[in-house]
Amino acid sequence: MSQSADGASLRPATSRPQRHAGPQIDHRKLENGLEIVVIPDRRAPVVTHMVWYRNGSADDPPMKSGIAHFLEHLMFKGTKAHPQGEFSQLVADLGGQENAFTGHDYTAYFQRVPREHLAVVMKYEADRMVNLVLSDEVVAPERDVVLEERRMRSDSDPAAQLSEAVQAALFAHHPYGLPIIGWRHEIETLQREDALAYYERFYTPENAILVVAGDVEGDEVERLARETYGKIPARGAPPRRVRPQEPEPRAHRLVTLSDPKVEQPSCERVYLAPSVRTAEKGESEALEVMAHLIGGGQTSRLYRALVIDRKIAVAAGAYYMSGALDMTRLWVYAAPAPDVSLEDLDRAIGETLDEFMRAPPTEAELARAKTRLIADAVYAQDSQTSLARWYGAALATGETIEDVSGWPDRIDAVTAQDVVDVARKWLDRKRAVTGFLMPELAA
């Protein structure tokens, strides 16, 4: 889907004039399939170097949930040339930062270092794209680390457990319903052979996107990339991006989790909604504006209705997760004031949404929302890492550079009618899963 697939030549990312012109992105491709994105940022002599693989937890093979995330851990176990710990030590010695993350649709590794050290981190990152050494001695203890991570973050946190159950109910068929970290009983079965098979299938130049942001030129990055990543032969297997799709939802689902550890009850509704990649033209942007109008901050409809006017909630909001390869999610949530039941709060959320669909936003409301969304995006670009992450995540989920750079203009074009139309179309209870988190089950 990415426009970058059509060739390796240098070309400017955007050709038409833009009100909110972003950085001029340099986008290339090596012969082995590796995409290269260079984002200019000359404010400081540092670079952010990221490699994005087009595979995330939603690509985990059947009965191997958690393998993408497990392999992210194992990628720090060293190679023959650079044993475990050497790469991280190098980054630390250079005064840099490093991190890695696994999403539903991608896995990414990054380092931020002084500009003059870009070459050496590329050398190390390219080395572990192909030379990872995994022995049972490192795999088994790391599996225990992941199981402990799961115990800490999910199994002992009622809110995380509810979130897992809500996602599993929303995506009963699509693998977005799997927790990124994996189900415990499947993590427990992951072996060295599974990790190696996964590594060999997905850690390939044609499955990767190199993103470099900072005080560098495209030609220099390409030259360095040719000396490192360019030496890795193509594997001949294109990215695998076909997953089971969710059937059309027919029934509303309410997921209730009670646990004595819960101190603040809360309720959420999660709607199955199109992502920027799967939506019809303009719909994703209208959903973005709609979510902001409904639940972005203290001037939003939900906050005003539930927290300020009716005083039945202590928090309320909404959030649309636009970026996803397949169908995505729109959250509406609230936390009840003392002595307010979740049933009453949920009913009040429904009333507020119904009212929003009946009464379109005023022009002032709409303009304020769009200005704020666009300003937030501009502010985010002020961080080199955020900027690199934005482009990397977008390209790894099938968007183009033009999709990213043109986003402010598309937000600006959203009308009040567009917003009401998407609200009526997508805020349908049949499409939603509601989650109730409470200290104990109602009788």
- The answer to whether 164 contacts a copy of itself (rule: CB under 8 A) is yes
Dihedral (Cα; 35, 41, 44, 48), 10-degree rounding: -30
Structure tokens at 144: 């225990």
Scanning residues 23 to 62, which ones bind a copy of itself (CB under 8 A)? 62
Measured from the CB of residue 275, what is the shortest distance to a copy of itself in angstroms?
17
Q: Is the CB of residue 53 less than 8 Å from the CB of residue 70?
A: no
Element (H, E) at 130: helix 118-130
Separation between Cα atoms, residue 328 and residue 321, nearest integer Å: 7
- The answer to whether 385 contacts a copy of itself (rule: CB under 8 A) is no
Tell me which DSSP letter residue 316 carries: E
- DSSP assignment of 182-230, as one string? --HHHHTT--HHHHHHHHHHH-SGGGEEEEEEES--HHHHHHHHHHTGG
Separation between Cα atoms, residue 349 and residue 306, nearest integer Å: 8
- The answer to whether 159 contacts a copy of itself (rule: CB under 8 A) is no
Measured from the CB of residue 263, what is the shortest distance to a copy of itself in angstroms?
18
Scanning residues 350 to 379, which ones bind a copy of itself (CB under 8 A)? 350
| Member of 178, 209, 232, 332 binding a copy of itself (CB under 8 A) | 178
Strands 266-273 and 46-53: unpaired
Measured from the CB atom, the residue of 112 and 174 that comes closer to a copy of itself is 174
Active-site residue, from 72, 125, 222, 399: 72
Going across the sheet that includes 11-12, the strands are: 11-12, 26-29, 35-40, 208-214, 46-53, 107-114, 97-102
Separation between Cα atoms, residue 108 and residue 242, nearest integer Å: 20
CB-neighbour burial class of residue 281 (10 A; exposed 0-12, middle 13-18, buried 19+) = exposed
- Of 78-86, 167-175, 311-319, 376-384, the window that binds a copy of itself (rule: CB under 8 A) is 167-175
Measured from the CB atom, the residue of 178 and 180 that comes closer to a copy of itself is 178
Residues near a copy of itself (CB under 8 A), total: 38
Q: Is the CB of residue 209 less than 8 Å from the CB of residue 33?
A: no
Contact pattern from residue 248 through residue 277 relative to a copy of itself, giving x for each residue in contact according to CB under 8 A and a dash for the rest: -xxxxxxxxx--------------------
- Of 11-19, 21-29, 43-51, 246-254, the window that binds a copy of itself (rule: CB under 8 A) is 246-254
Q: Is the CB of residue 89 less than 8 Å from the CB of residue 76?
A: no
Measured from the CB of residue 200, what is the shortest distance to a copy of itself in angstroms?
20
Scanning residues 223 to 242, which ones bind a copy of itself (CB under 8 A)? 242
| Member of 133, 168, 262, 357 binding a copy of itself (CB under 8 A) | 168
Measured from the CB of residue 154, what is the shortest distance to a copy of itself in angstroms?
10
Measured from the CB atom, the residue of 168 and 314 that comes closer to a copy of itself is 168
- The answer to whether 169 contacts a copy of itself (rule: CB under 8 A) is yes
- The answer to whether 177 contacts a copy of itself (rule: CB under 8 A) is yes
**What residues pair up with 113 in beta bridges, in sequence order?**
47
| Member of 173, 231, 261, 358 binding a copy of itself (CB under 8 A) | 173
Scanning residues 296 to 355, which ones bind a copy of itself (CB under 8 A)? 347, 350
Measured from the CB of residue 433, what is the shortest distance to a copy of itself in angstroms?
9
- The answer to whether 125 contacts a copy of itself (rule: CB under 8 A) is no
Nearest to 326 by CA among 50, 56, 61: 56
- The answer to whether 183 contacts a copy of itself (rule: CB under 8 A) is yes
CA angle 392, 164, 391 (to 5 degrees): 5
Element (H, E) at 122: helix 118-130
| Member of 17, 247, 260, 338 binding a copy of itself (CB under 8 A) | 247
Strands 26-29 and 11-12: antiparallel
| Member of 149, 186, 215, 402 binding a copy of itself (CB under 8 A) | 186
Structure tokens at 18: 């833009």
Measured from the CB atom, the residue of 351 and 382 that comes closer to a copy of itself is 351
72 is a catalytic site residue: yes
Q: For residue 146, what are the contacts with CB-CB under 8 A and spacing of at least 6?
A: 66, 69, 70, 73, 181, 182, 187
| Member of 1, 44, 63, 378 binding a copy of itself (CB under 8 A) | 63
Measured from the CB of residue 247, what is the shortest distance to a copy of itself in angstroms?
4
> Which residue ranges make up the site for a copy of itself (CB under 8 A)?
62-63, 161-162, 164-166, 168-169, 172-173, 177-178, 183-186, 242-245, 247, 249-257, 347, 350, 429-430, 435, 441, 443
Q: Residues with catalytic annotation?
A: 72
